[in-house]
Amino acid sequence: MNAIVVVESPAKAKTINKYLGDGFTVLASFGHVRDLPPKDGSVRPDEDFAMSWEEDARGDRQVAAIAKALKGADTLYLATDPDREGEAISWHVRAMLEARNVLKGKQVRRITFNEITKSAVQAALRAPRDLDTPLIEAYLARRALDYLVGFTLSPVLWRKLPGSKSAGRVQSVALRLICEREAEIELFRPREYWTIEAEFRTPAGAPFRARLTHLDGRKLDQFDLADKAAADAAKAAVERGAFSVVSIEKKRVRRNPPPPFTTSTLQQDASRKLHMTAQAIMRTAQQLYEGVEIGGETVGLITYMRTDGVQMAREAITAARQQVKDAFGANYLPAAPREYQSKAKNAQEAHEAIRPTDFTLTPERAARHLSPEQARLYELIYKRALASQMQSAELDQTTVELADAAGTTLRATGSILAFDGFLKLYREGMDEDPEDETARLLPPMAKSDPLASGPVTAEQHFTQPPPRYSEATLVKRMEELGIGRPSTYASILTVLRERNYVRMENRRFIPEDRGRLVTAFLVSFFGRYVETGFTADLEEKLDEVSDGRLDWRSVMRDFWADFSGAVEQIKDLKISDVIDALDEELGPHFFPAREDGSDPRVCQACGTGRLGLRLGRFGAFIGCSNYPECQYTRRLAVEGGEDEGDQLRDGMKLLGENAEGIPVTLRRGPYGLYVQLGEPDPEDKKAKPRRAALPRGMSGETITLEQAIGLLSLPRVIGVHPETKQEIQAGIGRFGPYVKMGPIFASLDKDDDVLAVGLNRAVMVLAKKQEGIRDLGPHPKDGESVTARKGRFGPYVQHGKTVATLPRGSELGAVTLDEAVALLAEKGKTLAPRGRKGAKPAAKPKDAAAPKAARPAKAKAAAKPKAAAAKPEAAAAKAKPAARKTARSGG
């Protein structure tokens, strides 16, 4: 037998290759080998949702390698991951191989294994199957839905809400949850309440504390003691009472262990205990699943980490129980194995829970083969899975009620851990101290015992707003609502941060103004599609597709009929309607109530105008209704953070003066932050003050006067090249910081400081750049150098400002001076100056022209962002979406 086995990753291929004997070749697909092209028309609703797929370069190479290996094989085993995405990858690989006509006469089978161990892989080979069509159709439906939402809704956002990035089917609902929680917090008004506690002593002299529950025979509710006066009266009643024990209730309670991890619960627990992000958790779990080298053999340490199932295989349960008995003794082992069932809404793909592949490989033994991050996560997974088969913990709880003759009652509660059971190994809470299970230990006492009274304290409290979502609590909430799939949560939360819709503070999500504007827009005009109920219902339908109970195209037809209609309605919406809706929706956020009761919308500058939301071509801002007489504006929070927004609230920040006494200011323009020397000359409108954009990595919050002056003095001379004797300069151009020697420009790395880079570093960067440049010699007409260069679109030749691309297949090192001169004469194009129309080369190479000075904001745009306030409709109509990026589909 000669068989090809296709898996997803090289690490997995290396491991599995060791488990299989001669006759098997294991190759990796490197994940997905093709995808929907990021352009309009990739999913065509008018053709019953036909889809066009595009192979990426890496996928094409990998499939070509698989096709080549298949020439001498008789069987192809598709062994990608055991979930919907894995099934889809296998489907794509098979389709691409069929297109190459290499599967004729070959047997194609699908195999899956939940753990990368020798026994699991060999068992999978003994039980092959065909590709799961319903699972593939569920993938197609999700991919088409995400694409259509992203590529239909995002352009609407760009046109109607400049400054927004994109919208996604699940991402938008997650963002709404974060924004709604923030709105709850802003509207929250704390309420005061008090509690009364007293100290007592038993007849034997043992102290304990009790809390007031009844006053004058009436049960107290939370807010019955609402102020200090009421609390003092209650305190006095306790102080004058003579208390005795009226009842003692003791009961033993059992606490059962939680089930092994699913994808969601792993993300929640690792986030709480290990302070890892969801993305880091899944990356590390992938490494543990694919395996590490132990004793000269690569071994997968955990089962597949994308799962909704909480059950374990029978042999795994048996192994876990044996390990419990060996490690802790028979009294920690329940009489019968524990069975668990998933409670997650829309649970699907009934894989095993996440567990160790070998329970005898304890965290202590595995740690020396793992990185610190891997070791911590493996320990968490191991303990949770093993604890799930341990005996319940038992606690003795005691409740004692004390009363006096006036009907004043206090209650004391206590508990003691009678048997630790699974708590000996694993605790769900953040505190790993075993004493945390004993809240309070009460001394021995009996009914009717008289008690000696001690100090009485009244403590003030205030109700707290709902907490902001952490990654753990947001994942939990999304799972409860049935939104998305656990395997996608990490990427969804990452996208929200990358698009500056939210930020993290103290490991909690806080929505940025940009995120709140997007949410308000979607809620106002696409409310149905960001409702949790609608999204969860759609998830249920997709699960029915994966079970073979529903046709995926019928789901798509129902969705698209309503969704496309909603988009059509919004296309003719006026910008003024958008502004009015967002202004009303976000009014409490942008204009919170004032303590003195005055109108928070009254303009602070003119005193008569009404402040409201305005929309310019670069995004939203707050403006006055008396524009243009009153030019007060206030920017919303942007990427620079709150501090930068506060500092630049009036458009600029004075950094100081240079040696000539000219002011140096930090300003914000449509292209970001920049520094400016002096002010425009009112008598000479053509003269512009010197400006320089802040390079990436330099913060407007921390920039110093010296750094600003340094930026304004660019380009600066670094020194002379030791060999060529040419002057080397450093500056900032259209592609960022660079160094320059003659006609050669080389980009600096992100870690290089353009203000401090030295001669040695500059020479090194230029040398690397020169590896892609050949000096062919002087041009016969003017003696100026002719060079051959590497470009983004292939090699090209250049003479002055004239460039010409080399014919396809030409090598940079093979072109001669004569060939270059002829090519320049025949096909040469003159590089047009930046910002002006003119001839361009057929394939304009990066670095073909000298980097231009950084393009900061125009004075008018920087000084008067108010202009957009006067006619927001006109401003937005003229505006082109900033950074016209292709809409991303997906979560």
Provide the whole-model pTM.
0.63
Torsion of CA 186, 191, 192, 194, to 10 degrees: -120
Give the pLDDT of residue 554.
93
For residues 753 and 681, the model is more confident at 753
696 vs 145: which has the higher pLDDT: 145
Which phi and psi angles does 371 have, rounded to 5°?
-75, 160
Domain boundaries, the chain: 3-131, 157-188+476-574, 192-256+394-462, 279-389, 775-846
Residue with the bigger pLDDT between 28 and 193: it is 193
Q: What is the DSSP letter of 261?
A: B
Read off the pLDDT of residues 518-529 as tens digits, 9 standing for 90 and up: 888 888 888 888
Given a contact cutoff of 8 angstroms between Cβ atoms, the answer to whether 468 and 508 are in contact is yes
Share above pLDDT 70 across residues of the chain, in percent, rounded to a whole number: 87
Amino acid 883: pLDDT: 37
Calculate Rg over the CA atoms of the chain. Answer: 34
pLDDT band at 850, cuts 50/70/90?
Answer: very low
Lowest mean pLDDT, pick from 435-449, 489-503, 603-617, 640-654: 640-654
The answer to whether the beta carbons of residues 411 and 442 sit under 8 Å apart is no
3-state secondary structure of 476: helix
Listing from the earlier edge strand, what are the strands of the sheet with 611-616?
611-616, 619-624, 633-635
Tell me which residue of 93, 84, 120 sits closest to 32, measured CA to CA: 93
Q: How confident is the model at residue 643 (pLDDT cuts 50, 70, 90)?
A: very low
Lowest mean pLDDT among 272-276, 452-456, 584-588, 855-859: 855-859
pLDDT of residue 848: 35
Provide the pLDDT for residue 440. 61
DSSP string, 502-531: EEEETTEEEE-HHHHHHHHHHHHHSGGGG-
Q: Which helix (H) or strand (E) holds 317?
A: helix 314-328
Confidence band of 646 (pLDDT split at 50, 70, 90): very low
Dist. CA 240–CA 456, nearest whole Å = 10
- CA pair distance 841, 838, nearest whole angstrom: 10
Distance of alpha carbon 194 from alpha carbon 226, whole angstroms:
6
| Distance from C-alpha of 682 to C-alpha of 685, rounded to nearest angstrom | 6
The amino acid present at 679, given as its one-letter code, is: E
Q: What are phi and psi of 356, to 5 degrees?
A: -70, 150
Question: Is there a contact between 153 and 526 (Cβ–Cβ < 8 Å)?
Answer: yes
How much is the pLDDT for 348? 46
User: Residue 320 and residue 326: Cα distance in Å, rounded?
Assistant: 10
Q: How many residues does the chain have?
A: 891
Please report which confidence band the pLDDT of residue 344 belongs to, taking 50, 70 and 90 as the band edges.
low
Would the pLDDT of 322 be above 50?
Answer: yes
Q: How far apart are CA 823 and CA 31, in angstroms?
A: 42
Is the pLDDT assigned to residue 59 strictly greater than 50? Answer: yes
pLDDT at 469: 94
Q: CA angle 313-315-318, nearest 5°?
A: 110
Q: Which residue has the higher pLDDT, 44 or 633?
A: 44
CA 447 to mean position of chain CA atoms? 58
- What's the rounded mean pLDDT across residues 796-807? 88
DSSP conformation letters of 22-60: TTEEEEE--S-SEE--SSTTSEEGGGTSEE--EE-HHHH
Taking only the tens place, the pLDDT of each residue in 26-58 is 998 888 899 998 887 899 999 999 999 998 888
What pLDDT does residue 248 have?
Answer: 94
Q: What is the pLDDT of residue 653?
A: 77
Q: What percent of the chain has pLDDT over 90?
A: 36
In this prediction, residues 582-605 reach a mean pLDDT of: 82
Average pLDDT over residues 16-22: 84
Nearest to 522 by CA among 576, 611, 468, 585: 585
Superfamily designation of domain 157-188+476-574: Topoisomerase I, domain 2 (1.10.460.10)
CA distance 169 to 407: 59
Does 715 sit behind a cis peptide bond, omega within 30 degrees of 0 on the bond before it? yes
Known active-site residue 304:
yes
Is it true that domain 192-256+394-462 has CATH number 2.40.128.720?
no
Question: Chain-wide mean pLDDT for the chain?
Answer: 83
Per-residue pLDDT averaged across 582-604, rounded?
82
Check if the beta carbon of residue 436 is closer than 8 Å to that of residue 394: no
Q: What residue type is 382 in one-letter code?
A: Y
Residues 6+ apart with CB under 8 A from 599: none
Q: Which pLDDT band, with edges at 50, 70 and 90, does 437 fall under?
A: very low
Fold topology of 279-389: Topoisomerase I; domain 4 (1.10.290)
Question: Mind listing the pLDDT tens digit for each residue in 686-695?
Answer: 778 888 888 8
H-helix segments, 757-812: 759-770
Alpha-carbon distance of 470 to 463, in angstroms, equals 20
Average pLDDT over residues 823-849: 56
The residue from 139, 304, 382, 529 that is catalytic is 304
207-254 pLDDT, tens per residue? 999 999 999 989 999 999 999 999 999 999 999 999 999 999 999 999
Give 3-state DSSP helix, strand, coil % of the chain, rounded to 5. 35, 20, 40
Please write the tens of the pLDDT for every residue from 864-882: 333 333 333 333 333 333 3
Query: In terms of CATH architecture, what is 3-131?
Result: 3-Layer(aba) Sandwich (3.40)
Q: How confident is the model at residue 163 (pLDDT cuts 50, 70, 90)?
A: low
Query: Residue 25 above 70 pLDDT?
Result: yes
What's residue 349's pLDDT?
45
pLDDT of residue 745: 84
Decide: 546 and 83 in contact? Cβ < 8 Å: no
* pLDDT value at residue 429: 52
